[in-house]
């Protein structure tokens, strides 16, 4: 069972790496909001960037997505979903911000 042992070791390493990265990427934005050393806009940008990286960390180390071993259909589905989300969320913001602008809000 040497094969499955090394597989398991690799799996354990993947979860622990993901956990450590996720912990760091959670601590940074929470610490920034708690201590508040930066102006508002840079803080929001750091929160956003840390969130995007953390989502990628979760996909890579917890859901084990990667470009070689994950079935092609699954990757196509996630790309299609990303396009739908971009259209629907982006479209909503476009319409609502434009509406606010025209209503002088």
Kindly list the residues in this chain that would bind other proteins in the complex (CB under 8 A). 4-5, 7-8, 11-12, 15-16, 18-19, 22-23, 26, 29-30, 33-34, 36, 40, 43-44, 47-48, 50-51, 54-55, 58-59, 62-63, 71, 73-74, 77-78, 80-81, 84-85, 88-89, 92-93, 96
Q: Considering beta carbons, is residue 12 or 66 the nearer one to other proteins?
A: 12
The DSSP 8-state label assigned to residue 36 in this structure reads -
As a whole number of angstroms, the distance between CA 65 and CA 70 comes to 6
Helix (H, G, I), strand (E, B) or coil at 103: coil
Q: Considering beta carbons, is residue 66 or 92 the nearer one to other proteins?
A: 92
As a whole number of angstroms, the distance between CA 2 and CA 18 comes to 24
Cβ atoms 15, 62 nearer than 8 A = yes
CB of 104 to other proteins, least distance (A): 15
């Amino acid at each position: 069972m040497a094969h499955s042992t090394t597989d398991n070791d690799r799996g354990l390493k993947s979860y622990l790496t993901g956990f450590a990265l996720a912990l760091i990427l959670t601590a940074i934005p929470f610490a920034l909001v708690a201590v508040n050393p930066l102006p508002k806009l840079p803080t929001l940008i750091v929160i956003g960037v840390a969130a995007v990286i953390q989502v990628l960390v979760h996909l890579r180390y917890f859901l084990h997505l990667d470009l070689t071993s994950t079935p092609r259909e699954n990757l196509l589905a996630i790309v299609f979903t990303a396009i739908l989300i971009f259209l629907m969320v982006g479209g909503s913001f476009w319409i609502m911000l434009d509406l606010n602008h025209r209503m002088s809000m």
